[in-house]
Amino acid sequence: MSTIKLKNLKPGMVLADDVRDLKGRVLLARGETIDAKHLKILKAWGIAEVTVKGTGPQVAEAPDTHHADAKLLKKTEAELTELFRYADVQDPMMRELYNQCLDRKLKLNEADS
């Protein structure tokens, strides 16, 4: 099983765990197969991520950098490494922050070049 962001959740995926709101109420139960209506419900309740059964390429997540120019990506990564030099990017929160900032900065640098 793996935890994925809501935007990557597709109809047909199966929930590996209950989805709860901030107060702990169950919105959708474990084992439910996702359909379009469920996606709408989860979105309306502000759910950020869910745990689904199975792993593999369809649920794998990586920063969205595949389309970037290799040279620009390298330059941006160097800037980010410098910025994060005192932080532990192995920490899951810092890793995500790094990835998000890389994505943002890449877009800025692309707009500049």
Per CB under 8 A, does 107 bind another protein?
A: no
Q: Which of 75, 92, 95, 74 is closest to 84 using CA atoms?
A: 95
Shortest Å, Cβ 36 to another protein: 21
Question: Residue 24: helix, strand or coil by DSSP?
Answer: coil
When computed from its CA atoms, the radius of gyration of the chain, rounded to whole angstroms, is 17
Task: Give the number of other Cβ atoms within 10 Å of residue 86's Cβ.
Answer: 5
Interface residue with another protein, options 85, 90, 111, 113 (CB under 8 A)? 85
Interface residue with another protein, options 53, 59, 97, 110 (CB under 8 A)? 97
Restricting to residues 24-83, which ones interact with another protein according to CB under 8 A? 48-49, 82-83
Per CB under 8 A, does 5 bind another protein?
A: yes
Structure tokens at 23: 């107060």
Only segment of 10-18, 25-33, 52-60, 98-106 that touches another protein (CB under 8 A): 98-106
Structure tokens at 83: 């910025």
Residue type, 48: A
Positions in the binding site for another protein (CB under 8 A): 3, 5, 22, 48-49, 82-88, 91-98, 100-101, 104-105
